[in-house]
Amino acid sequence: MDQSSFLFQALVYLTAAVLMVPIAKKAGLGSVLGYLVAGMLIGPAFLNLVGDSTNVMHAAEFGVVMMLFVIGLELEPSLLWKLRKPIVGLGGLQVLCTLGLVCLIAMAMGYEWKVSLAIGMIVAPSSTAIVLQTFQEKGLMKTEAGQGGFSVLLFQDIAVIPMLALLPLLGNGTASNNSSSHAGGTWVSHQPAWFQTLLVFAAVVFIILAGRFLIRPLLRIVAAARVREVFTATSLLLVIGITVLMTKVGLSPALGTFLAGVVLADSEYRHELESDIEPFKGLLLGLFFIAIGASINFQLLANLPVLLFGIVLGLMIIKCLILLVLGRSFRLSTDQNLLFSLGLCQIGEFAFVLLTFSRQEQIISNEIADIIMAAVALSMALTPVLFLFFERVIQPRFGTLEKTEREPDTITEKSPVIIAGFGHFGNTVGRFLKANGIGCTILDIDSDRVDFLRKFGFKVYYGDASRYDLLHSAGAADAKVILITIDDAEKRLEMIETIKKHFPNLQMMVRSSNRYDAYDQMNAGMLHIYRETLDSSLRMGVDTMKLLGHRSYTATRAAQTFLKYDELAVKKLSSIRDQKQYINTSREFIEELEKIIRNDARMPDIAREKGWDDDSLIKEVKDNA
């Protein structure tokens, strides 16, 4: 590809994304659908502005690799260990059941068992890219459906490795060495099986050890150089290096970077790595979705509409049913289970890789491969629609299931207070207000919690609290105050914007995770900001002073003074601070802390209060004598 055509392609892709994604977002459809539609528009079926999008798709698959790195960064090993049961149980059963059932059906339709098995393997994984992106965008990662979905996707990523290893065995051995980035490297694949296995283990151990003992010191050195783009380069190098290594030993690069992410999750450079990779990840993922949109074969769809839609719907229904049954046996509540099952019932991007591979190994004929390829792309394109369906049709049904019975009291007594997010933070405030007879309406995204709270007579609405319609039906137009206590800091900022725009008379009280969060919220114009790390740390300080023998009233007053002072100091720092400057490295964190601690010298000292002090009086009396 020469340079001008490369630039032209970039122009087309970027224009499509820039035009379509905001429109899709505005219409409440989510960015994934926007990208997909953009891809369809520039694809051969409509404007035909791009040639073969397969190359682009291969490049863009790297976005998925980066996404898993970022996800790994947010996932500490302890959490991963906690999820081991759903990963192996839920994920394992999903892959096995889907694979088995699809394989049997294919055999019943008269395909050879080898072909059937290959089809089963191609169909079993779901789309990590679409599902995780959507879950994150909608703030669903922490729900049961989100956690379950994540577990299954993670297992699928792992399961792809043995699948790739298995496919050559199904072929008739005439396959040429392939060029796919996901397939085994040339040298390694010629080694005996035991040696390959050993290499795989060695690579995993190498990543874990390197993460601890090589990458961290390296990051420290690079960060000390204080050249920002070099740190970005290092982050990219890290991801690309792991990808190359993983590809060489025949492991999934996504899995490798995920592992590296987990290893680095508790490092001090976590946030900087994350914010460096984030834009690349976003762009490449977008590109990936566009490429899928562009690759949908509308010609085939026009020729064989019934067959193609039959296959797509059939496969999605099979996957969905299996997920439903599994979700139920893993005790997901009905609506979470529906979200989980509808969300994961598409066929994922691994299908493209597995298909290419199968074609090379001549397991699957080109006609079948084409049809499956189209079906996969279609099923992925349908996923955002399913999410929308869940959000607009299913969710409200659950959200209003019991409301209908209590309709009168919703109308007669309008709560003056809305609490968005009833987690650890929100429930304390909520209990406190309820104990004092203050009516609260609660918005929460965790359906189990919603059910539980309803039993106790709380007025609860289920769903994403940053959505206008949910806020509206919760009575945001008539309430006096809204307490924004959800866990996700970005969602909180989103909520603030929504409320500012649609409910200007609603007072906002907002929880903030830390100082930086508070800065952002101040920039957003918030007056009532509650840092969750402030009051309890000070109470701990008071009790420490008491244990050391200080008077309890003095310690309490010292803490009150500190609290007031610190609130003021944050306001001051926020006003003199460069708004574009985000704190990423621990070095910058320390610099700011230094500023703060230096400032502390100016804190009013209660020991210097003169009201209870009689030194000057004693002096005066002595002078007079």
Q: Which residues contribute to the site for other proteins (CB under 8 A)?
A: 542, 551-557, 607, 612-614, 617-618, 620-622, 625
Nearer to other proteins, 502 or 539 (CB): 539
Nearer to other proteins, 108 or 607 (CB): 607
Please provide the size of the chain in residues. Answer: 625
Q: How far is the CB of 603 from other proteins (least distance, A)?
A: 18
Q: What are the angstrom distances between the C-alpha of 70 and each of 227, 262, 330?
A: 22, 9, 27
Q: How far is the CB of 555 from other proteins (least distance, A)?
A: 7
Q: How far is the CB of 613 from other proteins (least distance, A)?
A: 5
Strand order through the sheet with 459-462: 459-462, 440-444, 417-420, 481-484, 507-512, 528-531
Q: How far is the CB of 557 from other proteins (least distance, A)?
A: 8
Nearer to other proteins, 109 or 625 (CB): 625
- The single-letter DSSP state of residue 607 is G
Buried b (16+ CB within 10 A) or exposed e, 358-368: bbbbebbeeeb
Nearer to other proteins, 35 or 562 (CB): 562
DSSP H or E run through 462: strand 459-462
Q: How far is the CB of 621 from other proteins (least distance, A)?
A: 4
Nearer to other proteins, 300 or 538 (CB): 538
CB count, 10 Å around CB of 305? 10
Buried b (16+ CB within 10 A) or exposed e, 517-544: bbbbbbeeebeebbbeebeeebeeebee
Nearer to other proteins, 238 or 555 (CB): 555
Q: How far is the CB of 540 from other proteins (least distance, A)?
A: 15
DSSP characters over 502-529: H-TTSEEEEEESSHHHHHHHHHTT-SEE
Q: What are phi and psi of 462, to 5 degrees?
A: -105, 130
Q: How far is the CB of 605 from other proteins (least distance, A)?
A: 13
Nearer to other proteins, 210 or 555 (CB): 555
Q: How far is the CB of 570 from other proteins (least distance, A)?
A: 24
DSSP characters over 123-179: HS---HHHHHHHHHHTT-TTSHHHHHHHHHHHHHHHHHHHHHHHHHHHS-S-PPPP-
Nearer to other proteins, 600 or 614 (CB): 614
d(CA 404, CA 204): 54
DSSP H or E run through 411: helix 407-412
